[in-house]
Homo-oligomer: A and B are copies of this chain.
Amino acid sequence: MLKPEILDPQGQAVQRALPRLGFDGIADVRQGKRFELEVEGPVDDAALARIHEMAETFLANTVIEDFTVKVES
């Protein structure tokens, strides 16, 4: 997701459109990216550390974006 201090024109456009479309009560909308990675082998601490590094160096632009890594089965 874009860092909170970075302007998000896509999210703003969605937020402004919602009342027009009949959806009220949404205070803020932010739009971002999501990657689903399928890991070969066990998702242990070493694999998670590698994925964290991958996200930091390659998948996210950490100048303007934050990221979180979550494990789902």
Contacts and interface: CB of A to CB of B under 8 A. Distances in A.
B31 A33 contact: yes
B41 A25 contact: yes
Q: Interface extent on A, as a size class?
A: 20 to 34
Nearest to A2: B36
- Which 8 interchain pairs have the tightest Cβ spacing? A28-B38, A34-B34, A27-B38, A30-B36, A25-B40, A32-B34, A27-B40, A23-B54
B32 A33 contact: yes
Contact of A39 (B26, B36, B53): B26
Interface string A43-66: 000010010011001110000000
Nearest to A30: B36
